[in-house]
Amino acid sequence: RAAARRGRVLPCAPGLRNDGHRRPPAHLSCGEACVWHGTSWRRWQRTLFPWLLDFGFTQCTSDPCVFTMEGASPGERLILGCYVDDLFILHRDGGPESLYAKFTEALASRWNVEDEGPVSDLLNVDIARHDQHVTLSQAGYITHMVETFLPDGVPAS
């Protein structure tokens, strides 16, 4: 993951002030993650978003960087989040005939992307998979914040 990012400056998300120092707090990944290898994430989003709509995704009204798509099979659905130049894709079935497989194949035929596999963290949220559920935790982030801002430990009240 670090090698894919080496040498690139990642601007902050659209709509946020970019003071030249702001960077995403963690590498993005997902149920599966794809990273686009290019130089202009804004240009990519301007072409990606219409392409997603043409592919059959519906853009979320409350967050324009989130898209959903229902598959032909009952319960088959993709939920896609886009942050800067990374995609976070939630899916249930990853088999060769699945909606996820068809989507990633179409995506890879259109852009130079890399599937980074199952996610373990997203924006300082640790993600752990279990048999029938997913656990989200910010223990690592909290530990980092305590070590940074309370190096002598939590003061007694």
Return averaged pLDDT per consecutive 10 residues of the chain, 157 residues in all: 36 36 33 52 82 95 94 88 84 85 91 83 85 87 90 83
Instruction: Report pLDDT for 131.
Output: 82
Dihedral of CA atoms 147, 149, 154, 155 in degrees, nearest 10, equals 140
Full-prediction pTM beyond 0.85?
no
